[in-house]
């Protein structure tokens, strides 16, 4: 790294996790606000649904073929369920209380943030044409010591996603780790990891797994035919390349809250949030988010090379389960834990097994445990999932009921959105 880049790094990492900022962040816990930012994807069109799945490496015809789904129980193409967290039409709503907004302005500026896990509860599918809205708030905050970055702040945000009929689609909880970039650089114990080099035999091993992968499709997987201990067919993802990161962005992920912008729009974005931009080795201001494709910048913040987005691995876990369960089933819960980084050049080998079978409120459920182990034989992520399966006894798989208080709040939030929208339309000449 050149002296100029070192100097730029020192400027960009002059931010610390201060006690005062942590206490201010606690003011946000329990306050839900409407998600009012424009999102890259606002409506789950057939094209958006297809491209999201393809961006995550999932070619299930239920998601990528406009016509295939018409012959299934859904009667339509449906979305890969995690997509619901990344499609948002701006929702109008009452602002955060003035005193909280003022007290939390500029919170954790310049701090490095990464997703270390999350959980989903789903209540219905996303269909082509669905316009999705959400409201969100911080659910919890705690301070921890981590091996990677020393002192860290762990925050869980809850997003409630609903459609144009005010039906709750799902609840998405995101676990974020915030740490000072300087601490990441000084304490990063993984900086000595070397990029992997693959022989033809290594690639052949990976290709052999790809060759036998595929969705179960139209053949139902009945609950009565499943046994505790059943293993999912192996799956592989990678080796991770910059191309794969580009494919994920092309599918619609990763554009907010800060945004990836070009030319004049990039300039405007830099004027709006200068702390998000850090000069590269050529003296050009570029987004701090480039840790996902720029290994030089990733090394500057303590990582040996660029790494993936946590959401990618969440979607990969879902892909693994979705391939196993078939068209007639539905994933009703998924919780993942990101334990290690997935670096450029890494390959993830996915495995899973059934750990429990149960009946609950008329649903026939299978609980799964899932793992990702890389080419270094290191477990980088794990997950649990619950699948509602069709039953020979009772018929189609069923979705869980939306909790009554959540349904009421969602209807109230959407009613307020429509009220504010009508008011705005009346004021427009």
pLDDT at 140: 87
- Give the pLDDT confidence score for residue 12 in this predicted structure: 47
Structure tokens at 225: 């035919």
Whose structure tokens read 């993830």? 348
Those residues with Cβ within 8 angstroms of residue 51's Cβ, 6 or more apart along the chain or in another chain: 250, 251, 252
Phi, psi values for residue 390, rounded to 5°: -65, 155
Collect contacts of 97-104 with beta carbons under 8 A, ≥24 apart: 97/31, 100/27, 100/28, 100/31, 103/24, 103/27, 104/24, 104/25, 104/27, 104/28
Q: Tell me the longest C-alpha to C-alpha distance in the chain.
A: 70
Cis peptide before 257 (omega within 30 of 0): yes
Residue 269 is predicted with a pLDDT of 93
The bridge status of strand 130-131 relative to strand 150-162 is: unpaired
Question: Which pLDDT value is given to residue 72?
Answer: 96
In 3D space, the residue among 202, 124, 112 whose CA is nearest the CA of residue 152 turns out to be: 112
Q: How many helices (H) and strands (E) does the chain have?
A: 12, 14
Tokens of 301: 């913040």
- What is the spatial distance between Cα 64 and Cα 89, in angstroms, rounded to a whole number? 22
Token pair of 251 as six digits: 């599918």
Q: What whole-number distance in Å separates Cα of residue 91 and Cα of residue 83?
A: 18
Q: Among 84, 79, 27, which residue's Cα sits nearest to residue 49?
A: 79
Tokens 């009508």 belong to which residue?
Answer: 422
Residue 15, CA distances (Å) to 162, 179, 223, 420 in order: 37, 10, 53, 39
Question: What does each of the 429 residues of the chain score in pLDDT, given as a tens digit?
Answer: 444 444 444 444 444 667 777 778 788 888 899 999 878 899 999 999 999 999 999 999 999 999 999 999 999 999 999 999 999 999 999 998 888 888 777 666 666 777 788 999 999 999 999 999 999 999 888 887 766 556 788 889 999 999 999 999 999 999 888 776 554 444 456 667 889 999 999 999 999 999 999 999 999 999 999 999 999 999 999 999 999 999 999 999 988 777 889 999 999 999 999 988 999 989 999 999 999 999 999 988 888 999 999 899 999 999 999 999 999 999 999 999 998 999 999 999 999 999 999 999 999 999 999 999 999 999 999 999 999 999 998 999 999 999 999 999 999 999 999 999 999 888 877
User: What b/e string do you get for 122-158 counting C-beta neighbours within 10 Å, with b at 16 or more?
Assistant: bbbbbbbebebbbbbebbebeeeeeebbbbbbbbbbb
The answer to whether the beta carbons of residues 323 and 235 sit under 8 Å apart is yes
Selected from 3.50.30.10, 3.40.50.2300, 3.10.129.10, 3.40.50.300, the CATH number assigned to the domain covering 3-427 reads 3.10.129.10
**Residue 240: its pLDDT value, please?**
98
Which whole-number Å values give the CA distances from 201 to 90, 197, 198, 207, 419, in the listed order?
A: 49, 11, 8, 10, 63
The residues spanned by each domain of the chain are: 3-427
pTM (two decimals): 0.89
Asked if 302 contacts 186 with a C-beta cutoff of 8 angstroms, the reply is: yes
Q: How far is CA 236 from CA 117, 129, 140, 272, 285, in A?
A: 20, 32, 34, 40, 36
């Amino acid at each position: 790294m050149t002296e100029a880049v070192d100097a730029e790094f020192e400027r960009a990492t002059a931010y610390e996790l201060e006690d005062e900022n942590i206490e201010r962040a606690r003011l946000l816990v329990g306050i839900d606000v409407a998600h009012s930012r424009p999102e890259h994807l606002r409506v789950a069109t057939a094209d958006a649904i297809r491209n999201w799945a393809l961006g995550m490496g999932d070619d299930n015809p239920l998601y990528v073929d406009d016509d295939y789904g018409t012959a299934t129980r859904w009667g339509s193409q449906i979305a890969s369920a995690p997509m619901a967290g990344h499609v948002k039409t701006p929702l109008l709503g009452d602002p955060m209380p003035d005193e909280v907004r003022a007290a939390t302005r500029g919170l954790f500026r310049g701090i490095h943030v990464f997703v270390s896990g999350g959980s989903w509860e789903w209540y219905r599918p996303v269909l082509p044409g669905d316009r999705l809205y959400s409201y969100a708030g911080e659910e919890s905050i705690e301070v921890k010591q981590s091996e990677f970055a020393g002192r860290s702040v762990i925050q869980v945000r809850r997003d409630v996603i609903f459609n144009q009929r005010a039906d709750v689609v799902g609840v998405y909880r995101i676990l974020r780790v915030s740490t000072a970039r300087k601490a990441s650089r000084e304490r990063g114990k993984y900086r000595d990891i070397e990029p992997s080099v693959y022989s033809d035999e290594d690639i052949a091993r990976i290709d052999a797994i790809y060759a036998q992968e595929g969705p179960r499709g139209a053949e139902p997987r009945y609950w009565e035919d499943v046994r505790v201990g059943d293993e999912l067919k192996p799956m592989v993802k990678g080796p991770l390349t910059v191309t794969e990161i580009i494919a994920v962005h092309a599918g619609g992920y990763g554009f907010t809250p800060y945004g990836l912008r070009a030319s004049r729009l990039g300039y405007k974005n830099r004027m709006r949030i200068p702390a998000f931009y850090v000069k590269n080795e050529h003296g050009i201001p570029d987004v701090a988010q480039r840790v996902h494709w720029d290994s030089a910048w990733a090394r500057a913040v303590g990582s040996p090379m660029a790494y993936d987005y946590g959401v990618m691995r969440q979607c990969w876990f879902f892909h693994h389960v979705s391939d196993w369960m078939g068209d007639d089933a539905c994933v009703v819960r998924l919780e993942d834990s990101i334990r290690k980084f997935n670096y450029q050049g890494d390959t993830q080998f996915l495995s899973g097994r059934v750990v429990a079978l149960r009946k609950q409120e008329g649903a026939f459920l299978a609980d799964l445990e899932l793992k990702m182990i890389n080419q270094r034989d290191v477990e980088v992520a794990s997950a649990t999932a619950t699948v509602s399966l069709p039953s020979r006894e009772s018929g189609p798989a069923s979705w869980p009921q939306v909790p009554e208080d959540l349904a009421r709040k969602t209807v109230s939030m959407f009613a307020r959105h429509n009220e504010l929208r009508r008011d705005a339309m009346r004021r427009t000449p």
